[in-house]
Amino acid sequence: MPTVTVGAENGHDIHLYYEDHGDGPPVVMIHGYPLDGHSWEKQRRVLLKAGYRVITYDRRGFGWSSQPTVGYDYDTFATDLKTLIDTLDLRDIVLVGFSMGTGEVTRYLGRYGSDRVRKAVMLGAIPPFLLKTDDNPEGVDRSVFEKNKATIEEDRYVYLKQFLDDFVNVDKLRGTRASDEVWHAWFNVAAQASAYATYACVDTWLTDFRADVAAIDVPVLVMHGTEDRILPFESTAKRLPPLMKDVRVVPVEGGPHNIAWTHAEEVNRELLAFLQE
C-alpha cells in the first residue's frame, strides 16, 4: 500500500495513503470532507482514458491515511501535499481540489508557488474566506460552525447524516442524481474517518485565503453548484474573480455541493476542456 510519511505523533510516523495510475501529464486530486481519494471515481476514469496520470490521496485523518490528533490546519495540509508532490517528483501538475481540497490547492500555491504547477481546478470552492467578520461581511456567521461542532460532539453520526443530506440535496436529487446506495457508501466512509479529525476540520473551514488567492499566478477553473448548501455560491466562488489574476467561474445551475458526482458529465466536460487548453 503506497504511502508517504508526513510527520510523527508520539514517536509514530504519520502516513498518507495515495494512488498513482496512468501515464502522461500528472493531475493531483484532493478530496473533500468527510470522504477520501476514492470519491474521485467519476473523474479518475475519464482522466485516465484521456491520457493523464492521476494521483489521489487521503487527507490525514481520513480514508486509509493515519489518524493523528495533530496537524489539522491548512499550513500542515499544504505541507502534506508538498511532501507528496516532492516525493513523487511531480512537475507540470494540474491540482484539482473539491471542497476542503480547494483549501489545499489555494494554500499550496499561496505558500509554495507554482514552480511545479501548470493549472488549478476548484470544485465547490471554500476560498476566499468563509467566516463573516467586519471586513468580510459576505461570509457565514460563526454560530453556524459552532453548531456543527456541537452536533459532532453530541452525536457524530447524526451530524454526518445531516451533512451528507446537504452534500447532494437529497430532498431534490435523491433517486435521480444521487442513489440511496451511494449515500450509504459515503456514510460508511465518513463513519470510518477519525472522530477527532471530523471535529477538528470544522475550524479549518474558517481559514482566511484572501492573500493566497491573490498570489496564485496560474490559470484556475472554478465550478460550483448554485444550490450548494454547505459552501454557498454567493459566499465563495462568486467572490473569487475580483481577487484572482486568471480565473474562470462556471456556475452549475441547480448543482448541490458534490457536483463531481451529481453533475459529473458537466464537470468532466469542463475539466477536460480546461486541461487541454
DSSP per residue, 36-77:
-GGGGHHHHHHHHHTT-EEEEEPPTTSTTS---SS--SHHHH
Per-residue pLDDT tens over the stretch 100-126: 999 999 999 999 999 999 999 999 999
Q: What global pTM score does this model have?
A: 0.98
Domain extent listing, the chain: 3-276
Q: Which residues pair with 13 in a beta bridge?
A: 8
Average pLDDT over residues 190-194: 98
Task: Please give the CATH topology (third level) of the domain spanning 3-276.
Answer: Rossmann fold (3.40.50)
The kind and range of the H/E element at 19 are strand 12-21
Peptide bond into 232 cis (omega under 30): no
- Active-site pick, 15, 224, 257, 263: 257
Using CB atoms within 10 Å of the CB of residue 18, give its burial: 0 to 12 exposed, 13 to 18 middle, 19+ buried: buried
What pLDDT, on the 0 to 100 scale, is given for residue 70?
A: 98
Q: Please enumerate in sequence order all residues whose Cβ is within 8 A of that of 40, keeping only pairs 6 or more positions apart, or say none.
A: 29, 31, 54, 56, 98, 260
Provide mean pLDDT across the span 7-17: 98
Categorize the per-residue pLDDT at 1 as very low, low, confident or very high, splitting at 50, 70 and 90: confident
257 as an active site residue: the answer is: yes
Q: Which residue has the cell 469542463?
A: 270
The C-alpha cell at 241 is: 474573480
Closest to 258 (Cα-Cα) out of 40, 15, 27, 16: 40
The pLDDT of residue 102: 98
Contact in structure between 94 and 118 (CB atoms under 8 Å)? yes
> Catalytic annotation on 143?
no
Query: What strand order describes the sheet that includes 117-123?
Result: 3-9, 12-21, 53-57, 26-30, 93-98, 117-123, 220-225, 247-252
Annotated active-site residue in 58, 80, 212, 228: 228
pLDDT, tens digit (0-9, with 9 covering 90-100), for 123-182? 999 999 999 999 999 999 999 999 999 999 999 999 999 999 999 999 999 999 999 999
Q: Which amino acid is at 101?
A: G
Catalytic residue among 66, 99, 194, 235: 99
And the C-alpha cell for 178? 444521487
Mean pLDDT calculated for residue range 92-103: 98
Each residue's pLDDT tens digit, 57-77: 999 999 999 999 999 999 999
| DSSP tag of 194 | -
Percent of the chain with pLDDT over 90: 100
- What pLDDT is recorded for position 5? 98
Of 242, 261, 243, nearest to 252 (Cα)? 261
